Amino acid sequence: MFRFLSLQSRRRPSSMGAQRRYRHHGAVMAIRREDINPWERRAPLAPRHVKELTNDGVKVLVQPSNRRAIHEKYYMKAGAVMQEDISEASLIIGVKRPPEEKVIPRKTYAFFSHTIKAQEANMGLLDDLVKKEVRLIDYEKMVDANGYRIVAFGQWAGVTGMINILHGLGLRFLALGHHTPFMHIGMAHNYRNVSQAIQAVRDCGYEISMGLMPRSIGPITFCFTGTGNVSKGAQDIINELPVEYVEPLELKEASETGDMNKVYATVLSRHHHLVRKSDGIYDPMEYENHPELYTSHFRTSVAPYTTCLINGIYWDPHTPRLLRRLDAQRLIRPLKSSRVFYDGSPALPHKLLAICDISADAGGSIEFMNDCTTIDKPFCMYDADQHIDHNSVEGTGILMCSIDNLPAQLPIEATEYFGDRLFPYIWEMLLSDATKPLNEEEFSPQVRDAIITSNGALTPKFEYIEKMREKREKAQILKRTGMKRVLLLGSGYVSGPVVEYLTRDEKTQVTVVSVVLKQAEELAAKYPNTIPIMLDASSQEGHLDSLVKDHDLVISMLPYSFHPLIAKHCIRRKVNMVTASYLSPAMKELQGSVEEAGITIVNEMGLDPGIDHMLAMKCIDQAKADGCTVESYTSFCGGLPAPECSDNPLRYKFSWSPYGVLLNTISPAIFLRDGEVVSIPAGGDLMDSATTMDFFPGFNLEGFPNRDSTKYAEPYGIQTAHTLIRGTLRFKGFSRAMGGFVKLGLINAGPSPVLQDPTSAISWKELLCQQMGLSSSISQEAFEEAVYKQTGEDQFRMDSLRWLGMLCDDPVPHADTVLAALAKHLEAKLSFAKGERDLIVMRNDVGIRHPTGELETREISLVVYGEPNGFSAMAKTVGYPAAIAARMVLDGEISTKGLVLPMTKDIYGPALARLKEEGLHIISKSTVQE
């Protein structure tokens, strides 16, 4: 058997590949490191394949990996270049999927993506490949004219799976009170090579032939489903035992009266168990086109007489299942026997003891195989009566083995085998240019039909994947009736309190949407009635519209620029909406459409804007009710690190968007001071306007105005005020350090080609020299002197840049703009460490003139600390207001149609009371001047 596999693995490449080789001189390809699964030791090509490529002038890069079973010295000997950076390659191949963050844009990749059935776990990868304009060739879809896979590990999956299940049978028999020869067979990966494994199986077979199987267990029978490579590989192993093959209908007799000095096997083809539901006939042509018309009688004709089922068939949702849960319940009922058994030689509880589902198709042909097992935990027991799995070989049920990366257990032979099948197609893959339209490429049908993504989209053949995703999501969302359904767009910093608050009501269901599926899953796992979904609202409008349609309310925690797009879908589907962002001009333009649709869109329901509005209006409305006039209004708010965590030059850490924080430093500002309109132009003067805020002297705060404060005179109803300022709070030192960035031109949102190129890196020194118009070859001393002058000869700014690692040769993060690169750098340097907490400080000072002439200054303060192992202060003060507004809309407390702000008593009254219940305590003091 081993000799057969070895000979088969040395087939020569196709003539088409040989004819094309002359075109490949100078081509560069890479074999990437496998880094998803610790057991993955395979490679897509072996050293002898690499040698043939390098001999023909192809440069082959191989990422170093101590985990790879074939040592790197053999690849180097074959002419490969071992290096970490593989961005030079136009073709990058692997076995399994790469992590999203390691995918290089606009390259051709080849690997098993496991996306063709819209597998939820890999949809994040698929979206990333589309976004990065990667051309993906999926080995699983490389088939011949008859639809059979031509690049696969199938035979080695069968070999490995069979070795494993024989080991598992030994353990299961032992748990049931029987020592058997199967105990001497180990897991496949415990053998240096397949020859050693085969010898163990042969030794087991010898003992069986000597009559050493316990008589009380009766004849052992195996059933192999399918006739493809998987089934053949498994049969190659069992052929090393004393085995007799019988027809499926003969299995009953063999299981009852067979010879104990051998085992019995049957191979199940379609015609053995599939019949038309209407008349019990099997028509192979009709079945190909209409499998839904057929059912399987395997559960009654073969399964009751099978000791171990080895399943290797591909399952499609339209095809009949082999076994269902109900079937498993029947198959584990105790056997009836007239024989007398003793404690030392007990009877088996039932005939079907084990299933090796090599197809590893969760919920597929074996309906109750819901989760794959793993190489380190290969077996579980399925208790059909309880419908639960438990990690053991003991107890009630059927032993299950369903490892989805079986060939990784025999990685060297599997690599050789797979490489021989892939190698003929490498030559045309090398010619792929992912930046060119797919229709301009010349691929064979085998490669062309396996391309899932190209040029930023799913290829036409695979567009169905998106529909499958939406159908599955819809079924999940609508599964429970009588629920109020909330669509939460965004799973970032502030979404946790939103989900936590809303799901306190068992009749509310939240769908959390994120561009990063893992984030949504982590959030959803913490709360009941929460469903995670991945979506890029900027590029998947159809999907977004479908989701909006299936919900009662949408909460958008996305950047404000997305809100008009989302609002348009809410208008179209007549679905209410809540946001925590400012009401932008683009949103205001939708007022008429929102009213016409009869929906409510609550805006500015966060911290700032949000809580600041509600506190202002509560105070202002009360003053007016008392016959007073508001003469001044100042409001400052800031999200900060707690003082003990402010240990950096900016005295700041990021719990909000770094990009937005930086961009705000060059924004213009307008405010009213003592009856005079003060205007600060855009471009950086804002940082120079920062002043000391001493209302909490222990905090050492500074503040600067925020955007246009004067526009709030009318909605607040305080046109009589001579002072109106809304501003931002920071710890002292922030504005000074930020001013240095401004003077160096780093707050620049214009495109930066030098930072966009992923194949080249630029250092901070080189970037700053470029910003200042200097040669990067100047000495470090001259460079620092130039920076010192550019930043206004401010030593504090120099110390800040040095602390942040921006006066050296450290690389600048790749980004589209200098501003985006700086945001990435600061986020890495100034993020909150585990156990650190943030702080929210808000202060409103309202000057109120009483009818008696007295001037009252009402000081309204909010100070909130984050919880090191809970929600941040920012999350609480943004998330809870949005969640409270959402609940009020869902329950009909907010019923006004159109664009709504939280500035009326019917909203701010209940909302502020409920925020107090969440631990957000407002402190209000007054001082009066005669």
Q: List active site positions.
A: 608
Listed in sequence order, the DSSP H helices in 744-779 are: 753-756, 764-772
Residue 876 is which amino acid?
A: K
Q: Which two tokens mark 458?
A: 């799913």
Q: Which two tokens mark 230?
A: 């998987």
Q: Which two tokens mark 532?
A: 């995670």
Backbone φ/ψ region at 634: left (φ over 0), alpha (ψ -120 to 50), beta: beta
Q: Smallest Cα–Cα separation from 823: which of 696, 713, 663?
A: 663
Side-chain half-sphere exposure of 759, counting CA atoms within 13 A: 8
Side-chain half-sphere exposure of 188, counting CA atoms within 13 A: 29
- Give 524-569 as a 3 state SS string: HCCCCCEEEEECCCCCCHHHHHHHHHCCCEEEECCCHHHHHHHHHH
CA distance 360 to 662: 49
Q: Render 571-607 in DSSP notation, one character per residue.
A: HHHT-EEEESS---HHHHTTHHHHHHHT-EEE-S-BT
DSSP helix/strand/coil, 67: coil
Q: Smallest Cα–Cα separation from 108: which of 534, 450, 516, 517?
A: 450
Query: Residue 139, Cβ neighbours under 10 Å: how many?
Result: 22
Residue 901 is which amino acid?
A: L
Q: Give the max Cα distance, the chain.
A: 113
CA distance 201 to 182: 8
**DSSP summary character for residue 277:** T
**DSSP summary character for residue 290:** -
What is the separation of C-alpha 578 from the centre of its chain, rounded to a whole number of angstroms? Answer: 25
Are 230 and 358 a contacting pair, CB within 8 Å? yes
Rounded (10°) angle between helices 411-429 and 154-175: 160
Residue 78 is which amino acid?
A: A
Q: Which two tokens mark 454?
A: 């190209």
Are 12 and 66 a contacting pair, CB within 8 Å? no
DSSP helix/strand/coil, 830: coil
**DSSP summary character for residue 724:** E
CA distance 124 to 56: 37
Q: Which two tokens mark 324?
A: 């269902």
CA distance 495 to 485: 16
Are 573 and 548 a contacting pair, CB within 8 Å? yes
Are 312 and 158 a contacting pair, CB within 8 Å? yes
Regarding beta strands 274-276 and 388-390, do their DSSP bridges make them parallel or antiparallel, or are they unpaired?
A: unpaired
